[in-house]
Structures are given as structure tokens and as C-alpha cells.
Amino acid sequence: MKRKLQHGFSLISAIFLLVVIAALGAFAVTLSTTQHQSQAMEVMGARAYQAALAGVEWAAFNVANSASGVEWVGCTAAVPAATINGLAGNLAPFTVAVNCAATSAVEGTGTIWIYDVSAVANTGGNPGDVGYVEQVATAKLAR
């Protein structure tokens, strides 16, 4: 009796293993890329928050240097918002819009101005765009 030899079975196993290993490799690359992008966006979010805080500090500086008992001119109805461009260093890609609302209160013989300041820092573009980051910082100031 002559025995029939079977050929090709090991080829099918090898192709199957190659496909499985290639799929695992592609998954690992995709996972790594996603993690790197998430970390980069987290860093950009922290920078955007620092840019927004810079806008609040800009408003606080101007309020502190305004005349006592008089409304800060940067927060009047005629000037409802200011835009800060040209931040340096790591904050360079951000534009900061500072909004302010002022109310007054009379205490004794003096007038105290209370400012609700909101600063919005973003990278430009529209929400949902790749690389778009936006952060908001708020403060209540008085003089």
C-alpha cells in the first residue's frame, strides 16, 4: 500500500499566524498613537488654562491700577471685551478673549466696583477641529 502525502497544511497555519500577528501589531500601533495624541491634547489643555489665567491676571492688573471709586474703562458697556494676542513661549498658539461685567456698590461715602471677569483661551478654529483646545478661567475682582 502506498501512502498518500499531504502537502500545504503547514502553509495555511503559517498564513493564519502571520495574519493574527499583523492584526495584533496594527492594534498596538493604533493604541500607542491614540495615547500619544491624548497626552499631547492634555498638555495643550493645561497650556490653554494658563493662557486663560494670564487673561484674568491682565484684568486684575488693570483693575488694581485704575482709579479708586471709578469704573475701570476696560469694563464699560462701550468696551465689553478685550482680545489678547501675541502671547509668548508655550502660550503663543492661543488667543485670549477677556470679558468683563461691572457692578457698583456704595459703602459709606465710597463706591466699590465689582468685576466679574471671564477669560476664554483657544487655539482658533472651531470646536471639533483636530487640535482645537479651549479653556475658561473666571474671577471676581473688586476695587
Task: Count the neighbouring beta carbons within 10 Å of the beta carbon of residue 57.
Answer: 14
Band of residue 58 on the pLDDT scale cut at 50, 70, 90: very high
- Regarding predicted confidence, which is higher, 135 or 77? 135
Report which of 123, 121, 125 is spatially closest to residue 137, judged by C-alpha positions.
121
**Residue range 78-131, pLDDT digits in tens:** 665 788 888 888 898 899 999 998 898 998 888 889 999 999 999 988 888 888
Q: Which residue in this structure is represented by grid cell 496594527? A: 26
- Regarding predicted confidence, which is higher, 18 or 2? 18
Strand partners, 142: 114
Share of the chain above pLDDT 90, in %: 48
**Average pLDDT of the chain?**
88
Q: What is the pLDDT, as a whole number, of residue 53?
A: 96
Q: What is the pLDDT, as a whole number, of residue 122?
A: 93
Q: What is the pLDDT, as a whole number, of residue 69?
A: 76
Would you give the DSSP letter of residue 75?
A: G
